[in-house]
């Protein structure tokens, strides 16, 4: 087995051949008649294949903690019909919650962890956020946001129904591990109304400014311009984003969305010019 050395000054005195561990992956460094080479490798001979695993050590989030979180979400949904979020904390050997200042809409919640949001002696170990009346699933945006915070991340949805829906995963270094829900949290039995200071940290985001309206066909026709040049059209990027959202909703319902994007070609044959008739 070749020695393993870190990239950097340690390479100067390393015996070759050797595996070099760099920030962008492993390399094989060796010396031959051609000279000294260093090439990226995808596999290391002599070592077994590995796998991404997680031996989760924390207990399930207790029902009383979940009752406070879901009670807060129901209150926000009742007041504003929006999403909301809380931080999952670990202190004194158990779970607790903290509510950061947040800006919310019906389909998003935006917050930053600021000084004072986390009490002394506590550590942030995850998050819980709501989806309002929508189903509980981690959207592509949720997954991107959660990738930057190692921990337990829960989504609560269907807040317009008697029984809320739940989704949960543990994220480490951007990798999502889906464990059995009962291993991660206990469902609350009776919800707890939130304190006033929690609700005071929720601000509804102002509505997005609408783009300047495109001119109508009737307004363009008298000017002799081509409507296609002035009337807004959907882009391929917008179409793909819409399909991604639809696929995520289908996955939350236990379905798989299949689709094809087929170019439409006008197969109509051009008209042949009429032959001129002699006098």
Q: Do 187 and 134 have their domain in common?
A: yes
Same domain, 36 and 68: no
**Number of domains forming the structure of the chain:** 2
**Quick one: 160 and 89 in the same domain?**
yes
- pLDDT value of residue 220: 46
Say which residue the tokens 């439409």 belong to: 264
**Whole-number average pLDDT of the chain:** 84
CATH code: domain of residue 152: 3.40.140.10
pLDDT in tens, 150-169: 999 999 999 999 999 999 99
Domain identity same for 160 and 33: no
Beta strands 108-111 and 94-98: pairing type?
unpaired
Whole-model pTM above 0.75? no
Does any domain span residue 20?
yes
Residue 17: cis peptide before it, omega within 30 degrees of 0: yes
Report phi then psi at 121, rounded to 5: 85, 0
Q: Domain range for residue 17?
A: 4-40
Mean pLDDT along residues 31-44 = 86
CA–CA separation, 137 vs 253, rounded Å?
9
| Shared-domain flag, residues 93 and 137 | yes
Q: Which of 153, 180, 204 is the last residue of a domain?
A: 204
Q: In this structure, is residue 24 part of a structural domain? A: yes
Q: Are residues 23 and 88 in the same domain?
A: no
Q: For position 232, what pLDDT does the model report? A: 54
Q: Based on the domain organization, do 103 and 28 belong to the same domain?
A: no
The pLDDT value recorded for residue 249 is 82
Q: Please say which residue of 153, 182, 204 terminates a domain.
A: 204
Decide if pLDDT at 86 tops 90: yes
Tell me what pLDDT residue 252 has: 75
Q: Is residue 220 part of a domain?
A: no
Distance CA 164, CA 174 (A): 27
Each residue of 212-264: pLDDT tens digit? Answer: 655 554 554 454 444 444 445 567 777 777 887 887 787 777 777 776 666 65
- pLDDT (0 to 100) of residue 269: 47
């Amino acid at each position: 087995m070749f020695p393993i050395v870190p990239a950097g000054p340690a390479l100067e005195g390393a015996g070759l051949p050797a595996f070099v561990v760099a920030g962008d992956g492993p390399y094989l460094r060796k010396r031959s008649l051609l000279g000294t080479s260093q090439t990226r490798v995808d596999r290391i001979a002599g070592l077994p294949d590995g796998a991404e695993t997680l031996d989760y050590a924390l207990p399930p989030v207790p029902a009383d903690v979940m009752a406070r979180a879901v009670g807060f979400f129901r209150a926000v949904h009742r007041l504003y019909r929006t999403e909301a979020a809380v931080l999952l904390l670990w202190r004194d050997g158990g779970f607790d919650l903290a509510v950061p200042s947040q800006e919310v809409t019906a389909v998003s919640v935006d917050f930053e962890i600021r000084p004072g949001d986390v009490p002394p002696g506590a550590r942030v170990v995850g998050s819980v956020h709501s989806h309002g009346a929508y189903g509980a699933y981690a959207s592509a945006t949720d997954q991107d946001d959660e990738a930057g915070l190692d921990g337990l991340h829960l989504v609560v949805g269907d807040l317009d129904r008697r029984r809320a829906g739940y989704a949960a995963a543990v994220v480490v270094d951007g990798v999502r591990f889906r464990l059995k829900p009962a291993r991660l949290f206990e469902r609350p039995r009776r919800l707890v109304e939130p304190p006033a200071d929690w609700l005071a940290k929720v601000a509804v985001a102002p509505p997005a400014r609408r783009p300047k309206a495109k001119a109508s066909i009737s307004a363009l026709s008298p000017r002799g311009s081509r409507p296609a040049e002035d009337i807004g059209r959907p882009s391929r990027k917008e179409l793909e984003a819409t399909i991604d959202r639809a696929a995520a909703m289908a996955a939350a319902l236990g379905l798989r969305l299949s689709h094809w994007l087929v170019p439409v070609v006008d197969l109509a044959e051009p008209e042949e010019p009429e032959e001129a008739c002699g006098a």
